Amino acid sequence: MKEIVKIEHLSHRYNIQWAIRDINMEILERGIYGLLGSNGAGKSTAMNILCGVLKPTGGNVFIKGIDARKYPVEAKRHIGFLPQRPPLHADLTVEEYLRHAAGVRLMPAREIPAAVREVMERCGLTHFSKRLIRNLSGGYQQRVGIAQAIIHRPGFIVLDEPTNGLDPNQIMEIRHLIKSIAEEHTVLLSTHILSEIQATCHHIRMIEEGRLVFAGTVEEFDNYIIPSSLVVSMIAPPPLDELRRVPGVVHAEALGGPRFRVKYSGEFPGEISERIIGASVANGWRLTAIDVEKSSLDAIFSTLSREGRSR
């Protein structure tokens, strides 16, 4: 699969404060990429540079092989951008605004009417085409913001906190819309909300303290920290003290009913599982299930954040 974005040694500072430092990153065609990081980590700076809003202090950005520093207009033809605050004109109707957005994107005049109709249908805005933007709900204003980002059919869509401030129903609707857009485009979605990443994205790029600290799939992110606990179920469980005496077990706690959490250290999950199975057979605990307990997204986020700050 071809790359649509390539970033080389990207850095930017405001006065003496570095916002991002020496970021190298590739984004392939198709799929949803989550740009994750704490507030103030450098996400918005990176996105503003990617979209040509901000000139970097150093480094290069290539969009579909085009050097964005040397050929900014050509590069921007392939980019759609929804900032955290959508650039809406409240006194225009939805249709008027989208025609304006298409013109700003330098679309040929003859293509604009069809593009406006297509994007309104795709974003669920057709019934509101003649309504003033100021009279739309927050969720539908966000839909208009997404519509202006995709009206010129760019290959790369950048969305900064697209569900921020929306109610749960609106969030679900925007997530569904983003997933449908990603079937034909590459989407980069910025957020500091872990559940948003888990619900929407296929890949993660994490920035902390201005540096890239993780690049991989959501599954790789989920498995970043080696598990250190098992959840076991037994029909005839032993007292906790007896379970704690299994070699390698450092702690055991009851989870209710037949389930227990067993923590261990310095072992692989398979090794400690074999010891617990052996102890169950020898002592009649009647083990029925044993599962590796994955690290929570919050724990992984916290660990990567600490690593980023210590670099």
- 149-186 confidence digits (pLDDT tens): 999 999 999 999 888 878 888 888 889 999 999 988 89
Q: What is the pTM assigned to this prediction?
A: 0.74
pLDDT at 299: 66
Question: Which residues, in sequence order, are CB contacts of 228 under 8 Å at separation 6+?
Answer: 263, 264, 265
Within 192-296, where are the H helices?
194-200, 218-222, 240-244, 269-283
Q: Which CATH class name applies to 229-294?
A: alpha beta
Which burial class, exposed, middle or buried, applies to 20 when counting CB atoms under 10 A from its CB (0-12, 13-18, 19+)? buried
> Hey, what are 229's tokens?
């606990």
Regions of the chain with pLDDT less than 70: 1, 223-227, 266-267, 294-301, 303-311
CB 30 within 8 A of CB 202: no
pLDDT at 291: 87
**Torsion region of 257: left, alpha or beta (phi above 0 gives left; psi -120 to 50 gives alpha):** left
Superfamily the domain 3-222 falls into: P-loop containing nucleotide triphosphate hydrolases (3.40.50.300)
Q: How far apart are CA 250 and CA 247, in angstroms?
A: 8
> Hey, what are 267's tokens?
């072992």
Element housing 177 (H / E): helix 168-181
Q: Where in the chain is the domain with CATH 3.30.70?
A: 229-294
Q: Where in the chain is the domain with CATH 3.40.50.300?
A: 3-222
